[in-house]
Structure 1
Amino acid sequence: METPPQTSRLRKNVMIGLRREMKGLGKSLKGWGVAMHRTSVKASKEKVLSKGLLLECRNKSKLGIPEALALLEKDPTPKIQWKFYGLFSAFLLYVFGHRGGVFQNMTIQEVMETKRSSTENTFLINIKTQGTNEMYGPAQIVLMEEEEYEWALRFLRLKDQLPGGLGAKFFFFVSTPNPCKNLNNYFQEAWKAMGLPGCPTFTDVRTSIASHAKFTHAPENRLKLCKFMCHDVRMADKFYVTNLTAK
């Protein structure tokens, strides 16, 4: 004699609750898998540049920028223009760790509207168009010396002699109305020309600055730096900060 099929004694609302719980667990496991994949990809691409190497980049680019501008004044050609782009973006990137899009979107008008600080001998450039402007406002670049701001003005005095310069809107312009999309390549070429090891990207420098900020700065200073880089501490930990090495 066959055993009659068993029917569930659980109430309908309990079954609905269980289904919801199982669905939620499935989603969390899926998210865990994505997080683990992101971590493994991030680890495989870890390139934290030492503070000493970043400082060397700053010092060498600071020496190279006036030389590139002098060459550009004598021979205003795209080849030297790209050299200046690489050195100037390297100098700005070392100090601020901004995304490449911030430099691409910096307009000539924003540079020309820059004013000297009333309390400090610095020049502040506000870049309104950047990926997280709705949350963090304009990205900022601070030129600490008058000489550094003069580099930008010297280049703009030459722009009309370069292809695309007459109608240019963006500071890093090309022969079309669009901003320069090859800044990362020009930065890498400048890095190599300065005799520095490796071939880092904009993201590598941003990751390095975010990591050093986490492990060597007081929390309040790290928070200020994160805001200046147009992200918060949580986003920095998720996408940029890497784990400490034994060294």
Structure 2
Amino acid sequence: MRVKGKKDATIHSIKELQECRRLALVAIPKLLSRLEEQHTTTDQCNLFGYVAAYLASLYGHRLGVFLNMTDVQVSQAVHGPEKNDYLLKMEDHKTNESFGTAKMLLSDQEYGWLMDIIHLKTNPDKNLTKYVKRVWSEMHLEGEATFTSLRSAVATFARDRHGEDSQDRKSMARLMCHDTATSDKFYTMDLTMEQARKGRLLFEEAQKEGEESVTGTNKRKKDGEEGRKKKSEQESTPPQSDVIKRRVMYSY
């Protein structure tokens, strides 16, 4: 409960996730342009931070997915020519035994960022979380962003938007390599007013159905008792033909 309470207090809003991607779309091309002209460690770290924050705020992947992403995996992404997008598959991550490869479908522009990083011969280091925190602060967004906090937000909004048991939520969870049972255990947030209202209606409807069920049960019980009584009467009273036969026999 303490873990959930802490997450409730620090959950990123949908608006913040959207704003993160909007600002990253502006910052990333500028950083790439500067790095082509003159390579600096600051610009390189910021580039890693913006790209990682952008993708993590959309897909909610863990840090390990980004750290273990290889040049070969990026270059071998499956190209979808109809919509000019790319399916990227990462094999080395925490839950690969349960979910297989971690996947991200990238637009042509997003995939281009990763290819540019390869061409610049710049490789991410173990400080990706630090860089994400830095660019999040530079974007003047609330709180402190980590891969875990972004994942928590993405998982929560998937549940709230699509429903706990919906197929859409399950599809998103598969892409995130994320068990919904784990999500419900660790990432469940407090109910909103609207969710609470829907919950109350469910309770009220359940009790209405209960009343109808009790009435139906009583009726079935009464009908059953009447049926048994009638059957008993029929068994105790012989058919008319049998009575007539006995009378005829006795007359002899």
TM-score, shorter chain, exceeding 0.5:
yes
CA RMSD of aligned residues (A): 1.6
Q: Report if aligned partners of 2:3, 2:186 keep a CA contact under 8 Å in 1.
A: no
Counterpart AA for 1:157 = H
Q: Report if aligned partners of 1:110, 1:127 keep a CA contact under 8 Å in 2.
A: yes
Counterpart AA for 2:141 = L
Structure 1: distance between partners of 2:83 and 2:188: 31
| 2:20 match | 57
| 1:153 match | 115
CA deviations on 1:150-186 (whole Å, 9 max, x unpaired) are 1111221111xxxxx5xxxxx52xxxxxxx2211110
Instruction: Decide which of 38, 59, 67 is 1:96's aligned counterpart.
Output: 59
| 2:140 match | 195
1:223 aligns with 2:170: yes
Structure 1: distance between partners of 2:187 and 2:66: 19
Structure 1: distance between partners of 2:31 and 2:81: 31
1:109-148 aligned at under 5 Å gives the runs 109-144=72-107, 146-148=108-110
Q: How many residues align?
A: 191
Give the drift of 1:141. 1.5
User: Where does the alignment leave 5 or more consecutive residues of structure 1 unmatched?
Assistant: 1-38, 160-164, 166-170, 173-179
Q: Secondary structure at the match of 2:120?
A: helix
Q: Report if aligned partners of 2:137, 2:144 keep a CA contact under 8 Å in 1.
A: yes
1:74 aligns with 2:19: no
Q: Report if aligned partners of 1:136, 1:230 keep a CA contact under 8 Å in 2.
A: yes
Query: What TM-score do the two structures reach when normalised by structure 1?
Result: 0.73
Query: Percent of counterpart pairs with the same letter?
Result: 35
> Kindly tell me: are residues 245 and 157 of structure 1, through their superposed partners in 2, closer, same or farther at Cα, counting changes over 3 Å?
same
1:240 aligns with 2:187: yes
Query: What TM-score do the two structures reach when normalised by structure 2?
Result: 0.71
| 1:184 match | 129
Structure 1: distance between partners of 2:173 and 2:109: 27
Give the drift of 1:200. 2.1
CA deviations on 1:76-125 (whole Å, 9 max, x unpaired) are 12221101001000111111000111111111110111131155321111
| 2:156 match | 211
Instruction: Tell me which moved more, 85-94 or 210-219.
Output: 210-219
Moved over 6 A (4+): none
Q: Choose between structure 1 and 2: higher helix proportion.
A: 2
Q: Report if aligned partners of 1:49, 1:208 keep a CA contact under 8 Å in 2.
A: yes
Give the drift of 1:49. 1.4
Counterpart AA for 1:201 = T
Structure 1: distance between partners of 2:191 and 2:151: 16
